[in-house]
Structure 1
């Protein structure tokens, strides 16, 4: 099956499932697509008890897609740039320090808490998993997914300052989370961590994070200067597309964080002050609409892929039980990791009441966590953590996503 056939199948399924959601369910796209895809997958499994033709065809489609590469190396850059492009820069500037602490210390704290608690739970369940691998799981599940969060927030209507905190954290903490994951991954790959020096960790962090942000600033400023020097909306849209594609390639070649580079570039290009001087009204409209369409299309494909991943997972009762235990562990760890930063800033910067509870329940997990789980090796208990991650992502999107709006209204009433 060639790439064109795979893309055609995914786009066709996405269009069909999206139509069903908009026509009948009327749920936010993220939730509706996940729900429809899961139902479709269950129907396929049911039909397979009589005839396995459809099941085998769908499994063949899924197994030929390298989910990790497709999401982390391709789709994520486009979606993060689109999300950052439409972020309220002024609100994000005001909330920059809480967002920075949430995305760094919050992610690290959550990684540690989840890792330790999962280690204890897995021991109680008779699953012998080393602590370093539990920490690896903590790193991959801690970042909130900006793709899922942005899709839900559009429907919820939270206050602007709280939205800036949630969106800002989710845009940056996935880049930080990927770096933390890669660092722990390297430690886990070494012999018990022997020979892995702290200087290597700092070097990796500095290159990925700081290098990614610097690349993003250069890309954003370069894109701004090019767009300012001409007035042709067709070419200016293509310039933004070229910036994302070339920036992603450069980041990958230099081992920099392409997610952080794209978020930074998107914030620079989307800054009201810069876009006002670089784009005419018609160019601004075309750029925004183009990236909204890219965002919607890739989001649709992503959540169809997530739903279909269920076909290739190995569900065992011990794995399912571990996944059920992981849900409250992830929520408690997120709440505790947010409590310190919120307490630190709430007296200096205006915080919406119950921010800790809203951010805890509104911190959705998504495709990034699944992609990172797929990169685990067999020795790292890949199948176990894939099932746990999948269960957490589905719970996050369907349960938390469906109820976060009501929670916000009740807490802020």
Structure 2
């Protein structure tokens, strides 16, 4: 199927499902769209019991979309830049050390804990999976998804300091999580080959440091170009060029595109840069444009997530393992956050119950599914894809619908 046709169908469905959500369900857009798409897919499956024409067509359509490439190579960069552009840079600067600890130490500890526990849990289902492949699952499921988090936290009413920690962590641990995943993937792909620690350190350093460095450079160049003119049309185009050109460079030189886009977005969105480089009109147009891009791509992404259900191998053991993985992942996240929060609580004013709120507010989303889709058959792709899908759906729907009342309830208890 042609790219234009695929994009057209996705946007038409997003528009229709988005209308249904706003008119009748009135749920947060990420939750509403995914629920409607899952229900739509379930109806197609029921209809297929009598006439499978529509089911066959929909399966062909889903199979024609390279979800991994579309999300990781295209959509993610735009969404991360948009998210970083509207993040409070000054608050982020104050909270930079705990956010850095969450995004590095937290992701690494969670990866190891989830991988280790799942290694033994899967054996209960008679599934003999190697430890390195379980670690791969730990790596792909540990990062919280900035797309899901940003979309749902907007209306959750979290205290600003806490919101900054959750959003900042999700923006950065995404990039770090992808690098950790790629590092473990390289080891798992060559189980019999000796891989030096220096190779792993080089890969990790090149992706992380190189990605942040690229983001700093292209963010600064964008700022200087915007400062030298006063034309909102061209300045909006410059921000688009920053994302597309920066992503292309990151892929070409094997740097972390997510970290580059987050860094560039934070620079361009910084209040100091805004005041010196953007007129009031330009600032309005830049913000509104990226808000629209954010909403559009979010709708397309979560419609795709809902439709992915059609291509899963839904075995009973796989689904049960996915349901069991949910509390395991939440527990491991709580443990991985506890030490950094304890350490920094003496230096920074943390909101009470921060560990609990961040554990429940750390949603999993499309990034985890995209990474699961990149696994090979030897890495038990079908098993981990089903487990990941179950975790993501429960995370977005279950945690997403309850994070707001939980934050409000805990805030009342504290006050």
Question: In which range does the TM-score fall when normalised by the shorter chain?
Answer: over 0.9
Matches within 5 A, 1:186-225: 186-192=186-192, 194-225=193-224
Q: 1:402 matched to which residue of 2?
A: 401
Q: 1:75 matched to which residue of 2?
A: 75
SS of the residue 1:412 aligns to:
helix
Q: 2:352 matched to which residue of 1?
A: 353
Q: 1:86 matched to which residue of 2?
A: 86
Instruction: Deviation per CA, 1:326-384: give whole Å up to 9, x if none.
Output: 00110000000000100000111010010000000000000000000000000000000
TM-score, normalised with respect to structure 1: 0.99
Contact 2:48/2:55 (8 A) holds in 1: yes
Matches within 5 A, 1:109-258: 109-192=109-192, 194-258=193-257
1:261 paired with 2:260, answer: yes
Q: How far did residue 412 of structure 1 move?
A: 1.0
Matches within 5 A, 1:312-391: 312-391=311-390
Contact 2:115/2:131 (8 A) holds in 1: yes
Q: 1:311 matched to which residue of 2?
A: 310
Q: Hey, what's the Cα distance between the residues in 2 that align with 1:217 and 1:37?
A: 38
The alignment of Structure 1 onto Structure 2 pairs a total of residues equal to 412
1:108 paired with 2:108, answer: yes
Q: 1:55 matched to which residue of 2?
A: 55
SS of the residue 2:363 aligns to:
coil
Contact 2:81/2:264 (8 A) holds in 1: yes
Q: How far did residue 125 of structure 1 move?
A: 1.2
Q: How far did residue 109 of structure 1 move?
A: 0.4
Q: How far did residue 53 of structure 1 move?
A: 1.0
Q: How far did residue 297 of structure 1 move?
A: 0.4
Q: Hey, what's the Cα distance between the residues in 2 that align with 1:22 and 1:403?
A: 19
Q: Hey, what's the Cα distance between the residues in 2 that align with 1:184 and 1:191?
A: 11
1:412 paired with 2:407, answer: no
Q: Hey, what's the Cα distance between the residues in 2 that align with 1:409 and 1:238?
A: 40
Q: 2:40 matched to which residue of 1?
A: 40
Q: Give structure 1 regions of 4+ aligned residues with deviation exceeding 3 angstroms.
A: none
Q: How far did residue 190 of structure 1 move?
A: 1.3
Contact 2:157/2:408 (8 A) holds in 1: no
SS of the residue 2:282 aligns to:
helix
Q: 2:20 matched to which residue of 1?
A: 20
Q: Hey, what's the Cα distance between the residues in 1 that align with 2:58 and 2:240?
A: 32
SS of the residue 1:157 aligns to:
coil
1:7 paired with 2:4, answer: no
Q: How far did residue 93 of structure 1 move?
A: 0.4
Q: Give the RMSD, CA atoms, in angstroms.
A: 0.5
Q: How far did residue 404 of structure 1 move?
A: 0.5
Q: How far did residue 191 of structure 1 move?
A: 2.6
SS of the residue 1:364 aligns to:
coil
Instruction: Deviation per CA, 1:202-243: give whole Å up to 9, x if none.
Output: 000110000000000001000000000000000000000001
Instruction: Deviation per CA, 1:110-153: give whole Å up to 9, x if none.
Output: 00000000001001111010000000000000000000000000
Q: Hey, what's the Cα distance between the residues in 2 that align with 1:123 and 1:211?
A: 39
Q: Hey, what's the Cα distance between the residues in 2 that align with 1:191 and 1:183?
A: 13
TM-score, normalised with respect to structure 2: 0.99
Gaps of 5+ in 1: none
SS of the residue 2:16 aligns to:
helix
Q: Hey, what's the Cα distance between the residues in 2 that align with 1:103 and 1:76?
A: 17
SS of the residue 2:154 aligns to:
helix
Q: 1:271 matched to which residue of 2?
A: 270
Q: Hey, what's the Cα distance between the residues in 2 that align with 1:35 and 1:358?
A: 24
Q: How far did residue 70 of structure 1 move?
A: 0.3
Q: How far did residue 157 of structure 1 move?
A: 1.1
Q: Hey, what's the Cα distance between the residues in 2 that align with 1:272 and 1:56?
A: 51
Instruction: Deviation per CA, 1:173-226: give whole Å up to 9, x if none.
Output: 01000000000000001134x410100110001100000000000010000000
Q: How far did residue 308 of structure 1 move?
A: 0.3
